[in-house]
Amino acid sequence: MSNEEKVVVNDLNDEKKQKNKQNKKERISNILSKETKTTMVIRIITAVILGIVVVPTFFFGGWSFLITVLIALAISIHEFLHAAKVKKGFWFVYVFVYVMTISLTFWIFMKNNMNVNVSLGKHPLNLKLWDFWRGFENLEVSTFGVIAILVFVFISVILVPEFDFYLGSYFFIMMIIVGIGFQSLLFLRFLPQHMANSEDAFIVGFTSEGIVSSFLLLYVIIGTTFNDIGAYFVGVLFGRRKLIERISPKKTIEGFIGGIVISFVFSFAFAMICSLTGNEILPFLSHKEWYWLVLLSLLMPLLGNLGDLFFSALKRNFEIKDYGTFLRGHGGILDRLDSILVVSLVVSLLIVFIRNSWSFLL
């Protein structure tokens, strides 16, 4: 290579480096722009207020957490109904969707407690004997509920011209994901209490008192939330290659990987610290069974991204930016809980399988 060619190559390399530096400066300036600062301040204020109101219910459990879940569930149902632009004249759609989605979440609570009351020779509706930890000791889908939803969708698609097949499929999927997703949140919150009160707990020495009973749910929330935080900041600072631009133009491959790494570090560390201090999140999720913690801690950010992309695809199809405006700076409840619902659902299923020695086909 001649000296002139070397000079040209060096100039091109210098130009490329300069361009990369400029792009990096532009990304950093975007973070510090006035509009971004304002948005971040609003998001932080909203998050702080939400944390002050909601987080204590995680620790208290009981009615406070149950009511919080019910309120969030009701708002979420309103949001996915509103996103589909269902006409108010179709009142039967609103009534059915509300009733069935809420039923999918809470029917197991009623079923388990009523069965226990009957076994004790008491009236099934004797609410004084009902317990939260007993009501959500397992995760179940109501066969009757699923069939009822399918029948409703079939009839609506056939008899209501405005209710096409796509809309029917949308409602079926959303009722299942939202209904069972919120049931999963309750399952994750009250399962440690159930296991601590079972006979097997005395054998393994597992206890779950006070705020310790909320550690399993916090573990899942940490895994999901830190994935979002990590993906955002890594993507803004270092993101260059788009992940799936047609669904979410702002998501990058670098942000995707960064979110997974940061989520894994924080969630795995949280679970290990809990275990090493004698506060295992579950008897079979301790430092002795570290491989399950590795599996779950890696799966949570992957599932979180999957859930986020799925809900983003739905929003893009309906040509909306957010599901709602309930949380200023964040969008709606579903915009904050989309990935958490998917993660909670799959993690709950895996916990059921691990707990039953993978005998889920029996």
User: Which tens digits make up the pLDDT trace of 78-130?
Assistant: 998 888 887 767 788 889 999 999 999 999 988 888 888 888 888 888 877 88
Kindly state the average pLDDT of the residues 355-362.
68
**For helices 333-355 and 165-196, angle between their N-to-C axes, nearest 10 degrees:** 50
The structure's pTM equals 0.82
What is the C-alpha to C-alpha distance for residues 246 and 265, in angstroms, rounded to an integer? 30
User: Which tens digits make up the pLDDT trace of 251-302?
Assistant: 888 888 999 999 999 999 999 999 898 888 888 887 888 899 999 999 999 9
- pLDDT above 80 for 38: no
**Which residues lie closer than 8 Å to 171 by C-beta, 6 or more apart?**
84, 93, 97, 149, 153
Average the pLDDT over each of 80-94, 194-208, 225-239 and give the range with the smallest value: 194-208
- pLDDT above 60 for 175: yes
Amino acid at 207: T
What is the C-alpha to C-alpha distance for residues 19 and 22, in angstroms, rounded to an integer? 5
Could you tell me how many residues make up the chain? 362
- pLDDT above 80 for 8: no
Nearest to 31 by CA among 263, 252, 234: 234
**Which residues lie closer than 8 Å to 148 by C-beta, 6 or more apart?**
100
* pLDDT of 204: 47
* pLDDT of 344: 95
User: Which tens digits make up the pLDDT trace of 50-79?
Assistant: 777 777 887 887 888 899 999 999 999 999
* pLDDT of 205: 47
- pLDDT above 60 for 31: no
**Which residues lie closer than 8 Å to 289 by C-beta, 6 or more apart?**
none
pLDDT band at 233 (very low <50, low <70, confident <90, very high): confident
* pLDDT of 224: 93
**Structure token digits, residue 274:** 């809990």
Q: 137 near 111, Cβ under 8 Å?
A: no
